[in-house]
């Protein structure tokens, strides 16, 4: 196994991780920004007001995208598994 192959496998693993994390975090960030703008406009400084909507949106995102998440992870695992002979020899 050459260093280039290791770097390629590591790069593809990081790409999958970044895509999955970004898909989970981005809706929560957008809702957090909207709540922060609302809090700044109304001068409400309640910490739980920003936490609860972000939590709900993040959980809903995980629930709705779970099928895609698992399909992506299974596809990546199959790619790695099928490339084992190439990686070893």
Every domain of the chain and the residues it spans: 3-88
- Show the DSSP H helices in 1-89 as ranges: 3-42, 47-82, 84-88
pTM of the model: 0.80
Q: What is the pLDDT of residue 13?
A: 95
Spell out, as residue ranges, where the chain has pLDDT lower than 70.
Answer: none
CA distance 44 to 1: 58
- Residue in the block written with tokens 């992506």: 72
Q: What is the pLDDT of residue 56?
A: 95
Q: What is the pLDDT of residue 59?
A: 95
- List Cβ neighbours of 55 (8 Å cut-off, separation of 6 or more): 28
CA distance 60 to 56: 6
Q: What SS3 state is found at 19?
A: helix
């Amino acid at each position: 196994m050459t260093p280039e192959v290791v770097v390629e496998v590591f790069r593809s693993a990081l790409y999958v991780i970044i895509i999955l994390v970004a898909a989970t975090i981005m809706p929560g960030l957008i809702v957090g920004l909207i709540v922060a703008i609302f809090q700044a406009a109304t001068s409400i400084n309640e910490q739980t007001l920003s936490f609860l909507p972000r939590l709900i949106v993040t959980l809903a995102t995980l629930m709705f995208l779970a099928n895609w998440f698992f399909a992506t992870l299974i596809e990546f695992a199959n790619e790695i598994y099928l490339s084992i002979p190439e990686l070893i020899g």
